[in-house]
Amino acid sequence: MYKQPIKSASPMPFNKSTAKERLQKKLMARKAEALDPASEMLIDLAEAVNNVQKLMQRRVDENAAITELGESEAKLKALLAKKKEKDNEAALQQT
């Protein structure tokens, strides 16, 4: 007695290469799911590093501004001292 082959439920007959491709797709999807939390942590870490770099640059800029102010203050004091000397000399010459 001859039996007819059982038809598969899938529209395509079983093929080793397509089954392998499906397994690879599933594996890649699982890898992507596993990488998502790690990639989110890496993104957070990169943002934190960027924020620290910005803060460090701000600190460098502030230190440069403080140094500049100190130099300007020293120049002003020197100019005031010269002006006082000239004023004193002028006052001595008038007397």
Total domains in the chain come to 1
**Domain-located, residue 68:** yes
CB 39 within 8 A of CB 33: no
More confident residue, 11 or 30: 30
The whole-model pTM stands at 0.47
**Domain-located, residue 7:** no
**Domain-located, residue 31:** yes
**Domain-located, residue 45:** yes
Which residues lie below 8 Å from residue 14, measured CB to CB, with a gap of 6+?
Answer: 8
Q: How confident is the model at residue 12 (pLDDT cuts 50, 70, 90)?
A: low
Residue 27 has pLDDT above 90, yes or no: no
**Domain-located, residue 56:** yes
**Domain-located, residue 55:** yes
What is the span of the domain harbouring residue 27? Answer: 19-95
